[in-house]
Amino acid sequence: MSLAHKEDGKKWIQTTVAVTCMIIGYVLMSFFETLSEWFELESKVGSYTAISQAVSVLVALGVFTYIMRTPKTANFLHDVYQEAIKVVWPDKNDTVKHTIIIMIGVTIMGFILGVFDIGASWLLSLIA
């Protein structure tokens, strides 16, 4: 059962792009804060914090506007959404079964690699 429907596509795409742009804005604010600490910009530039936050918000809004207004990008995101709603997720039993199989496989491979490591260490200790 899918939470998304074909008619909800535009909403989901806009929400995803908006959240991504918020993350971009946050990363830019963190970047400008780091630059401020490195180069002591707050003491050299008046209102550095306000300027850096305004630039971060404007860049995020610009990215959102560019993505949503460019037909090629909007069509690509629509196609991605159309393919994503076709995904059939496994049920709980399949997920648990595959998880257990993967855990057993990783444990066996870890054991094998551990034995090889111990053997290689032993052989190198004979040489040295």
- Indicate the pTM of the whole model: 0.66
48-91 pLDDT, tens digit each: 889 999 999 999 999 999 999 999 998 999 999 999 889 998 99
Instruction: Output the pLDDT for position 1.
Output: 47
Dump pLDDT digits (tens) for 14-56: 999 999 999 999 999 999 999 988 988 888 888 888 999 999 9
Which whole-number Å values give the CA distances from 10 to 4, 22, 71, 78, in the listed order?
11, 18, 13, 8
- Where does the pLDDT of residue 128 fall: very low under 50, low under 70, confident under 90, or very high at 90 and above? confident
Together in a domain, 81 and 18 = yes
- List the domain range (segments joined by +) for residue 83: 1-88
Q: Please state the domain count of the chain.
A: 2
* Residues 78 and 109 both lie in one domain: no
Place of tokens 């490195």: 38
So what's the pLDDT on residue 5? 62
Same domain, 62 and 96: no
End-to-end C-alpha distance for the chain, whole angstroms: 62
Identify the residue whose tokens are 């709603």: 85
Residue 86 identity (one-letter amino acid): K
Question: What's the rounded mean pLDDT across residues 91-115?
Answer: 97
Q: Please state, in angstroms and rounded to a whole number, the distance separating the CA atoms of residues 5 and 91.
A: 19
Output the six-digit token pair for 30: 């963190």
